[in-house]
Amino acid sequence: MFATPPSPLPQTQGWCPGAWQPMASGDGLVVRVRPPLGRLSAAQALRLAELASEHGAGLLELTSRANIQLRGVAPNQHGALLAALAAQGLLDGDARQERLRNLVIDPLCQPADGVLALAEALQQALLADTALEGLPAKFGVSLASGRHGGLAEVAADVQLVRDGAQGWLLQVPGYPIAWRADTPLLSVQAALALARWCAEQARARRAAGEHPGRLPQLLRQAQAHPGALPPLALPAGLHEAPPYLPAASQPKPGWQCGLGLLVAAPLGRVAASALARLARSGITGLRLTPWRMLLVEGLAPQGMPGAGLTEHDHWICDAQDARLRVSACSGAPGCRQALAPTQDLALALAPHVPEGAHLHVSGCSKGCARQLPATVTLVAQAGGDGPVYGRGRHATAQAVPDSRWSARSLRDNPGLLFEEM
């Protein structure tokens, strides 16, 4: 045990970085790119790799929002980077469009699922709607094929799930009922109604000096206190239905029938050189996923070595790889708020994480890189002789730790982390 001084409270930004609105970090700007419909052509992927080397730190990160971001961008390089992204079709017209186009699209959807067509229609409707000013910055929508439970734990204010031949289920996490729309058009209209209602409440709360809140929270408040908020007006033709609550089942690396090869990168971080080699190998494209993986399209099994996918340091193609059992935020020095390094420690501890368990290492109590509980969560804290790591079990980074460890003790006795569990 360690006697530790209080750790400084981290500052929550309340928004995610974008291309138009990057986030300043300890190693420069973080510039997040939201590829249209979550997909990159081989040419776009190659250009992103080149831009990461030209304007950033030569590193790209895969995010839990199925986006890809460049780190270490110098502020005086931001304008040139935006111009290059625009030339590749990877930049929205302005920051408003970028913010509203916060969709997570099922990367394992099939053409017959109608997921991409619905995503395009919803995207256009959101951008054209003039009643969405003031929508909370992180408002997002997920669109799932219903073929698997991989999007069950993806953060979203509105979830759209394919239901039957033409129907879609519309639901809000934590809300006891869902609504079934018999046509894609009706599902888009319903999603817009929820977004407008959320924007209206957020504007009112800001005017009253309150936090704008999120749609799930606002709906729970309206349900608990009838009349406290304006009623939610949904379009006619919807049918109430039970929510779709599949068991969460994050896909593992491997070949996906009829789609391509699902590959991961250690901690979701891809060297620009590795991405460039993959893009030059003859693939047709990449789908970004919310699992910090890439679905590689147009690759044959015999093409894996030439694409660099057998390079263990850069890619994970084995579903049993222990590095899939760990996650970590950027940590120090990359993040200004992190109290200690995280990533090297997470990778060092990975071989000692039991199968079926998960270890998350966070540089502060915000838990940016993982909002869900992990089997063990280590959170960097201020210590008398340097930073220590508080351990929480089956907890998030915000939980009160049950013990505190130095980095050395963790590396010397990694098996103790999971004892008595």
Predicted local confidence at residue 96, as pLDDT: 96
Distance CA 215, CA 141 (A): 11
Distance CA 382, CA 390 (A): 10
Predicted local confidence at residue 7, as pLDDT: 58
Distance CA 365, CA 397 (A): 5
Predicted local confidence at residue 2, as pLDDT: 40
Read off the pLDDT band of 420 (50, 70, 90).
Answer: low
pTM of the model: 0.94
Predicted local confidence at residue 253, as pLDDT: 98
Predicted local confidence at residue 419, as pLDDT: 82
CA 260 to each of CA 26, 252, 255, 355: distance values in angstroms, whole numbers, following the listed order? 36, 13, 6, 26
3-class DSSP state for residue 97? helix
Indicate if the pLDDT at residue 129 is higher than 70: yes
Indicate if the pLDDT at residue 12 is higher than 70: no
- Which are the contacts of 377, defined by CB distance < 8 A and separation ≥ 6? 359, 360, 361, 362, 367, 370, 391, 392, 393, 395, 396, 397, 399
Predicted local confidence at residue 164, as pLDDT: 83
How confident is the model over 244-248, as a mean pLDDT? 86
Indicate if the pLDDT at residue 77 is higher than 70: yes
Predicted local confidence at residue 13, as pLDDT: 59
How confident is the model over 295-313, as a mean pLDDT? 98
Going by the DSSP 8-state scheme, the letter that residue 301 receives in this structure is: G
Q: How many helices and strands, by DSSP H and E, does the chain display? A: 9, 21
Q: Are strands 254-256 and 260-264 parallel, antiparallel or unpaired?
A: antiparallel
What does 331-361 look like in DSSP terms, one character per residue? -TTTSTT-SS--HHHHHHHGGGSPTT--EEE
- Which are the contacts of 372, defined by CB distance < 8 A and separation ≥ 6? 153, 396
Read off the pLDDT band of 115 (50, 70, 90).
Answer: very high
Question: Do 199 and 144 contact (CB within 8 A), yes or no?
Answer: no
Name the average pLDDT for the chain.
94
